Amino acid sequence: MEKRLQEILNDAEKVRGYPVSVESLVRFLSLLIKYQPVDLWALIRHSDEYIRVVMGLFDALHNRNYVEVNESGQISLTKDGTSLAEEIGARALDESLLVDSGKYGLSLPPKFKEILDTMRKIYTEVVPKDNFDQAPLLPEASVYKALYITQRGDASGKYIVTVGDDDLLSLILAMTGEPKRVMAVDIDEQVLGVISECSHKMRLPVDVLQHDFRLDIPETFCGKFDTFVTEPPDTVDGITLFVSRGVQLLKKEPDKIGYCGISTTACPPNGIVQLTKNFAAMGLAVSTWLFKFSEYPPVRTELKHIEVPDFYDPFYPPSTVWYVSDLVRLKTTNSTNPLIKGIFRGNISDYEGDAKRFR
Amino acid sequence: MEKRLQEILNDAEKVRGYPVSVESLVRFLSLLIKYQPVDLWALIRHSDEYIRVVMGLFDALHNRNYVEVNESGQISLTKDGTSLAEEIGARALDESLLVDSGKYGLSLPPKFKEILDTMRKIYTEVVPKDNFDQAPLLPEASVYKALYITQRGDASGKYIVTVGDDDLLSLILAMTGEPKRVMAVDIDEQVLGVISECSHKMRLPVDVLQHDFRLDIPETFCGKFDTFVTEPPDTVDGITLFVSRGVQLLKKEPDKIGYCGISTTACPPNGIVQLTKNFAAMGLAVSTWLFKFSEYPPVRTELKHIEVPDFYDPFYPPSTVWYVSDLVRLKTTNSTNPLIKGIFRGNISDYEGDAKRFR
């Protein structure tokens, strides 16, 4: 039994070149027992594991006939898989209460429901661009995020800056009527065009600034904001860079707030460790970390480092939400300083590199 | 106006010897506008600030007649306070949706409701001891915590250890029927006696171990568990020590889980920064951080470093819940190692010391 386990883990590691733990195998099987027959994307969504771990396990278990895939792409345990699960003590993982409680028990008040209706229309005007690593959240996810930010007291009367804004959060926050002003900063003129036009039509207190975050923040905007919000590329460098720029934009005072989206699907556990090191090195206190808060739409133009096994091609792209990010709230202290200053010459979309660095 | 603000902040800092930011003043006033007339304890509960900041502000604002306290201890803004709030742009902070959604949208299923009924009785048998810095959670808070742990898949089929157990979480987890075995480790023989007796009566798979966590974990227990749960003294050293011991008790594999309660009421922001540094140094990835998850009962035998101003004495002890802790979920990686090894000779209840070290 020990040998069989070790073979599965070795196989799983080989598939994506990333190590896989016994515990990950147990959790994978526990989810399968609960949800089978289940779509690969639903499996990823229910898991909070790094994508390479899930894909490695899926492929290894499939190759060794512990799982089977039916004609509509639904995955189940085989007889061998079921006995494997029993042997290693994997039981049905029932996280239904967490899943059913939705957005951590929040529900949209009427004002936010109206905002959502408006945003659904506006979202169709933005075409995500692969070369900017863009992938907007679902409109609903963005509106819930704005609600959370508002409820934590980080919007009302504040100067807010969005560090990257293909989610159009600037418009949503401004539409709540809470912030004093919002500035949307993005590299993409088309996104800024949509924001400008809509804010003009709706007479919202929104400014736009075209900027590439690999370049330093222009001096005039440094130290001017109370709250920043960012949903960066899910690499350690990408997140560290965008949070650094956010910190530069905040007033140099304690107790200012930054929100950062981080996906554990795209960022390996050792990358998360490095990120918390970086946050601490910046003198930022983690204040809240809500796992799986923000959903991305099911169809993505760029699937990043997930490589779908050949035999799963007919069931791609996914038709359900599978990619979500955690919402992290950070608080400045009297020692807060950006980690990255000046021009950044690294690669903020090197998912392959992160998988190697953070094994 | 700038001068007046500076005077308030200076005053607030003098009261408890701890610096206070403009943002903290704005948030204090925003909560007052929303909830006035309001009890001091409710104000602390609604705030997520370090206790010295809240007490400093309360005292400074009271001395300068910006707030007044009525005959039943309820705090309100005076006319001067209202105009101050207007001047600095403090608006009513409405976090009702967060507050009303209770335990992040979770509600107890029937099995957990029964457990709660049983636990309410058993809790009365444990007398918290000041000399062990004990302060059990409310039974309801512990049962919700067990539900959360179960829903995240960290209980079913697992070997769980409680690092300190005056909350009797070992019993609660065992009563769910999910874990393989639970070991309760505590310094207090009376607590362990209650656990032993109850687990015997109910035939639960619970072991007890009397141990002082300042001493090293006995070799036989190291590396044996899948999940640890701890609610340590809310000092940086206390939390770091208990988490270190928890890590030692976990199997030396990636993806094992530790739960740690941390109160931002007792731990200053720079202390939180230090803690995340320590977690990262241990190779632990923060996986979830739920602010204000676990409530403590209103009457505490030891109020730690909160010093109630003299004029507030008649309204002490509080009659409502005011002290809560965040629930932090940590995940081991392939580089996880305890930060503190061997005997710990420091002071794990030096709240005064933390206030000085983490200004």
Question: Over 70: is that where the pLDDT of B305 sits?
Answer: no
Confidence of residue B215 (pLDDT cuts 50, 70, 90): very high
Q: Report the range of poorest mean pLDDT among A54-63, A80-89, A269-278, A319-328.
A: A319-328
Look at A272 and B255 and tell me if their CB atoms are within 8 Å: no
Look at B27 and A269 and tell me if their CB atoms are within 8 Å: no
For B49, nearest residue in chain A (alpha carbons): A255
Q: Are strands B74-77 and A38-39 parallel, antiparallel or unpaired?
A: unpaired
Closest Cβ–Cβ partner in A89, A255, A284 for B24: A255
Look at A21 and B255 and tell me if their CB atoms are within 8 Å: yes
CATH number of A110-357: 3.30.70.80, 1.10.760.10, 3.90.1300.10, 3.40.50.150? 3.40.50.150
For A107, nearest residue in chain B (alpha carbons): B97
Say what the pLDDT of residue A26 is: 96
Q: Are the CB atoms for B334 and B276 separated by under 8 Å?
A: no
CA distance B291 to B104: 10
CATH number of B2-99: 1.20.1740.10, 1.10.10.10, 3.30.450.40, 6.10.140.120? 1.10.10.10
Closest Cβ–Cβ partner in B95, B277, B283 for A153: B95
Residues 91-130 of B with CB under 8 A from A: 91, 93-98, 101-107, 109
Residues in a beta bridge with A290: A327
For B87, nearest residue in chain A (alpha carbons): A157
CATH 3.40.50.150 in chain B: give the residue spans: 110-357
Say what the pLDDT of residue A303 is: 60
Residues in a beta bridge with A18: none
**Per-residue pLDDT tens digits for A125-143:** 876 666 666 778 999 999 9
Residues 49-68 of A with CB under 8 A from B: none
CA distance B228 to A46: 23
CATH 1.10.10.10 in chain B: give the residue spans: 2-99
Question: Over 90: is that where the pLDDT of A38 sits?
Answer: yes
Say what the pLDDT of residue B16 is: 82
Give chain B's length.
359
* Percent of chain B residues past pLDDT 70, beyond the cut: 95
Q: Are the CB atoms for A184 and A195 separated by under 8 Å?
A: yes
Query: Among all chains, which residue has been given the structure tokens 């309360």?
Result: B58
Give the number of A-B residue pairs with CB atoms closer than 8 Å: 178
**A279 touches B at CB < 8 Å:** yes
Q: Are the CB atoms for A172 and A146 separated by under 8 Å?
A: yes
- Average pLDDT of the segment spanning A170-185: 98
Say what the pLDDT of residue A23 is: 95
Question: Over 80: is that where the pLDDT of B200 sits?
Answer: yes
Let me know the angle formed at the C-alpha of A137 by A132 and A143, rounded to the nearest 5 degrees: 135
As given in the structure block, the two tokens for residue A96 are 């239904």
- The closest of A121, A268, A86, A303 to A197, measured between CA atoms, is A121
Other CB atoms within 10 Å distance of the CB of residue B224: 15
Q: Are the CB atoms for A104 and B105 separated by under 8 Å?
A: yes
Q: Half-sphere exposure (CA, 13 Å, Cβ side) for A25?
A: 29
Look at B280 and A277 and tell me if their CB atoms are within 8 Å: yes
**Per-residue pLDDT tens digits for B48-88:** 899 999 999 999 999 999 999 999 999 999 999 999 999 99
3-state secondary structure B2-35: HHHHHHHHHHHHHHHCCCCCHHHHHHHHHHHHHH
* Percent of chain A residues past pLDDT 70, beyond the cut: 95
Confidence of residue A298 (pLDDT cuts 50, 70, 90): confident
Say what the pLDDT of residue A50 is: 93
Confidence of residue B293 (pLDDT cuts 50, 70, 90): very high
Q: Are the CB atoms for A269 and A50 separated by under 8 Å?
A: yes
**Per-residue pLDDT tens digits for B135-179:** 789 999 999 999 999 999 999 999 999 999 999 999 999 999 999
Question: Over 80: is that where the pLDDT of B1 sits?
Answer: no
CATH number of A2-96: 1.10.10.10
Which of A255, A267, A325, A337 is the mutation pick for testing B, counting most B CBs within 10 A? A255
Mean pLDDT of chain A: 93
Closest Cβ–Cβ partner in A153, A283, A334 for B27: A153
Which of A47, A270, A286 is the mutation pick for testing B, counting most B CBs within 10 A? A286
Say what the pLDDT of residue A94 is: 85
For B159, nearest residue in chain A (alpha carbons): A89
CA distance A334 to B122: 45
**Per-residue pLDDT tens digits for B235-291:** 999 999 999 999 999 999 999 999 999 999 999 999 999 999 999 999 999 999 999
CATH 1.10.10.10 in chain A: give the residue spans: 2-96
Other CB atoms within 10 Å distance of the CB of residue A298: 15
